[in-house]
Amino acid sequence: MRSEASLDLRVADQIWVATALLHRENPQRSDFSKQEILQRAAQEYPEGARRPGISQHISTHCVASKAPSPAKHRMLTRAGTGRRRLFRQGDYFHPARAGGKVSPWREELPEKYHELLDWYETEFDKRLEPGEETAKNRGATAETLMKLMGRISREDADEMIRIIDDCCGHVDANEW
């Protein structure tokens, strides 16, 4: 095993640590901009923030709902236009990301971040018991979704999802 001093964070793990720290430091907030995550990553690990691909990991590689390209990580959930939060069990993820890494492996994480993993597992990633749903996590009802079905073609829906994912939600409503 490598010594603590030589232990280097993987880019995906650095993104997870930065996002987890933001959640812990700002418990009143549910999500963060990609820029905030990048800045927190740079604050925590300046050398790592200059690595190529860090922004791509925040935008794509760690985002559970996007098709893997090539990483299958499910560390972040897209929470809106350019916004991310840590992934929770029960969040939607692209089927090809099944089994993807949700958080860093303890043995590859500096010891000072082990308590973040404990917090994530015991507090942040708790599953809600039946009846504990809130309006924020409940989403649309099945009845509402069924009403929507048939009003848009499958091809248009797929294209809309692709554009939203590619453009981080910057879609001109007049195009549709």
Each residue of 77-117: pLDDT tens digit?
998 888 999 999 989 999 999 999 999 999 999 999 999 99
Alpha carbon distance 37, 7 (integer Å): 21
Domain range for 29: 4-134
C-alpha torsion sign, points 53, 76, 34, 122: negative
Are 68 and 91 contained in the same domain?
A: yes
- The predicted pLDDT at position 1 comes to 38
Are 110 and 165 contained in the same domain?
A: no
Give the H/E segment covering residue 159.
helix 154-166
- The predicted pLDDT at position 82 comes to 86
Are 129 and 145 contained in the same domain?
A: no
Which of residues 100, 117, 134 is at a domain's end?
134
Q: What is the pTM of this model?
A: 0.69
Which of residues 134, 149, 167 is at a domain's end?
134
Are 29 and 49 contained in the same domain?
A: yes
Are 73 and 120 contained in the same domain?
A: yes
Give 149's DSSP letter.
T
Residue type, 13: D
Are 77 and 99 contained in the same domain?
A: yes
C-alpha R_g of the chain: 18
Are 130 and 144 contained in the same domain?
A: no
DSSP calls for 21-87: HHHHH-TT-S-EEHHHHHHHHHHH-HHHHTSTTHHHIIIIITBTTSPPSS-----EEEEETTEEEE-
Are 63 and 113 contained in the same domain?
A: yes
Looking at the 3D structure of the chain, how many domains does it have? 2
Are 115 and 151 contained in the same domain?
A: no
C-alpha torsion sign, points 98, 32, 69, 157: positive
Are 79 and 162 contained in the same domain?
A: no
Are 19 and 77 contained in the same domain?
A: yes
* Below-50 pLDDT ranges, the chain: 1-7, 128-138, 169-171, 176
CA dihedral 45, 46, 50, 52 (to 10 degrees): 0
Are 116 and 149 contained in the same domain?
A: no
Each residue of 21-30: pLDDT tens digit?
999 999 999 9
Strand, helix or coil for residue 176: coil
